[in-house]
Amino acid sequence: MSLNTIEINRLMKRFDSHASVWLFGYGSLIFKADFPFLERRPASIRGWSRRFYQGSHDHRGTQDAPGRVATLVPEGGAICHGMAYLVTPEEFAHLDYREKNGYLRLAIEMSFEDGTTAEGIVYMATNNNAAWLGPASEEAIACQIASAHGPSGPNSEYLLALSRALHELGKQDNHVQAIAHHLVVLLEGKSY
Ligand code: SIN
């Protein structure tokens, strides 16, 4: 099921008067920056873990066969690594459209590699949104990802691009790596 969050996100006015805002990306926003930005820097947020618990009916799956994409779940002590982009507030019209299937804009503090911090925005899909799929074993998640396909392409492409981008950032995410491992085994199995 999908839920369009565009109207809710438009009500988030917190940074509208700022000349620029930091956006923290942890999923496709790491590897697909289809918007202009003033600056890009590796960053992290504390107290959140990346999980493939969000359904995708509009990008990497369909209404009948949703894919699975990344969201964040609270976890004490966890650090989620990603990429921060400094954007002008006008970019949020495009970003709200892109992230409309259940993601809400939330204010978050992010840390940069030089030890400085900034408050900015993250798109997060919480467990009460209509497209939420929730926990499953990493093998079951890989199975779903292996077969899902949507207007933005195969769900496997999302997972493997994220895994590659994290590797390039020099960051390890055990959840992403475990799913990617199962996916590669499944895809290799299919070609024989
Ligand atoms: C993000 O990348 O920060 C949000 C989730 C996504 O678009 O994959």
132 CB neighbour count, 10 Å cutoff: 16
CA 72 centroid distance within chain:
8
Rounded CA-CA distance 84/44 in Å is 8
Q: If you average pLDDT over residues 82-91, what whole number do you get?
A: 97
Task: Report how far ligand 1's centroid is from the alpha carbon of 171 (Å).
Answer: 17
Q: Is the CB of 15 under 6 A from ligand 1?
A: no
Q: What whole-number distance in Å separates Cα of residue 20 and Cα of residue 126?
A: 26
Q: Is 69 in the pocket of ligand 1 (CB under 6 A)?
A: yes
Specify the residue with its C-alpha closest to ligand 1, atom 5.
27
Task: Give the span between the Cα atoms of 19 and 166, in whole angstroms.
Answer: 29
Q: What's the pLDDT band for 110 if we cut at 50, 70, 90?
A: very high
Q: Is 27 in the pocket of ligand 1 (CB under 6 A)?
A: yes
- The pTM score is 0.95
Q: How confident is the model at residue 123 (pLDDT cuts 50, 70, 90)?
A: very high
pLDDT at 126: 95
Q: Which of 28, 81, 94, 95 gets mutated to test ligand 1 (max ligand atoms within 8 A of its CB)?
A: 28
CA 51 to CA 73: how far, in whole Å? 7
One of 7, 39, 99, 168 is an active-site residue; which one? 99
> Nearest 5°: phi and psi at 25?
-110, 140
**Residues facing residue 153 across a β-bridge:** 150
Question: Does the Cβ of 28 fall within 6 Å of ligand 1?
Answer: yes
pLDDT at 77 over 90: yes
| Confidence grade of residue 14 (pLDDT, cut at 50, 70, 90) | confident
Distance from C-alpha of 16 to C-alpha of 18, rounded to nearest angstrom:
6
Rounded CA-CA distance 139/155 in Å is 15
Q: Answer yes or no: are the C-beta atoms of 51 and 73 closer than 8 Å.
A: yes
The rounded Å distance from CA 192 to ligand 1 centre is 33
Torsion of CA 15, 21, 22, 25, to 10 degrees: 70
Q: Looking at the CA of residue 54, tell me the nearest atom of ligand 1.
A: 5
Q: Is 157 a catalytic residue?
A: no
Taking residue 78's Cβ as centre, other Cβ atoms within 10 Å add up to 15
> Which residue's C-alpha comes closest to atom 2 of ligand 1?
27
Q: Which of 81, 86, 88 is nearest to 42 (CA)?
A: 81
